[in-house]
Amino acid sequence: MRQVILAEPGKIELKDVPVPVPSEGEVVVKVNTALTCGTDLKAYLRGHKLIPMPGPFGHEYSGTIAKAGKGSGNFKEGDRVMGVHSAPCMECGYCRKGLHNLCEKIMEKKALGAFAEYLLLPAHVVQLNLFHKPDGLSFEEAALLEPLSCIVHPYGKLRFDETETALVIGAGPIGLMHIAYLKMKGIKVIVSDFFDDRLSSASKIGAYRTTPPHDVEEAIKETTGNLGVDLVIECTGQQGVWEKAVNYVRRGGTIVLFGGCPAGINVTYDTHRLHYDELTLTGSFHFTPQDVKTAYQALTEKIIELSSLISGEFPLEDIENAFTLLIEGKGIKYALKP
């Protein structure tokens, strides 16, 4: 089979490798659609600690089961499926506390290699985070399950009855998915970004108001009556933006620091603001099996519309063209069709 290998930053190779054979509890998926994402782009440009090089590339997928190992539950050859690439061990200390996204082993055995004709899924992923794809959902939309699961995660602790307004900082693929999810919950979303085409995409997917960064405070003032938004979602992963995010939220509000900064970066906050305004700052990493189920329900019941995020498709041999477009800021996500 053909398999895309990320050899080193900026270098992709297409190799012929054996079709994987599933062991007990495992399945092999014949990939119909694999999507690009921001993590893939970071890895392609400069490497990523969670994507070994040289190694298989891609982790957002949908397809059809080509072979099912013994003990793979209710999955059989020919089933159309959608899933994510990881699952918790359910045994470590964090799993026992219900913190499944922080599982000590969650990144040890994950299914990288969706940019290929076939993808082997480990037994624990099959058991916890693989689902049947309904006929009414396209393979392209089904492949959005993994990133939508990440989007869903921070909202599990949020009280939506106290949230009327939100600011999303950064209207890339992740920011746009946050906008769509918040819009689905009936929240007025202000979106800040430097680029007009991204702001246009934000409007199309449901933003209440869009603004360049230099006008964001005025937009918040006019929308909230100078109160400040109830919720800020930071999606850029930039040190300066992390620090500014606390300026936009009302007293008692919440800031979700979703965009990850490189290791070793430190930020500074006004302690008076954090303490006396009782702000909540929270990070957000990965997802739990419950988040995946929530995302699956949103996609399959058509209560969220994300198909506009897919800007085009390429065959595997043209994958570098897809990443070139993303580097140039053209398009949102691209579908690779083996």
pLDDT of residue 62: 98
Q: pTM (2 decimals)?
A: 0.95
pLDDT of residue 162: 85
Contact 337, 37 (CB under 8 A): no
Q: pLDDT for 162-184, tens place per residue?
A: 899 999 999 999 999 999 999 99
pLDDT of residue 200: 95
Q: pLDDT for 53-70, tens place per residue?
A: 899 999 999 999 999 999
pLDDT of residue 50: 80
pLDDT of residue 21: 96
Structural domains of the chain, ranges and CATH numbers in brackets: 2-144+306-336 (3.90.180.10), 151-283 (3.40.50.720)
Q: pLDDT for 17-45, tens place per residue?
A: 999 999 999 999 999 999 999 889 888 88
The conformation of residue 48, written as its DSSP 8-state character, comes to B
**Residue 240 CB contacts under 8 Å (≥ 6 apart), including other chains:** none
**Residue 271 CB contacts under 8 Å (≥ 6 apart), including other chains:** none
Q: Which positions of the chain have pLDDT values less than 70?
A: none
Cα 231–Cα 48–Cα 10 angle in degrees, nearest 5: 120
Mean residue pLDDT across the chain:
95
Q: pLDDT for 215-234, tens place per residue?
A: 999 999 999 999 999 999 99
Nearest one of 32, 20, 3, 26 to 313, comparing CA atoms = 32
pLDDT of residue 51: 85
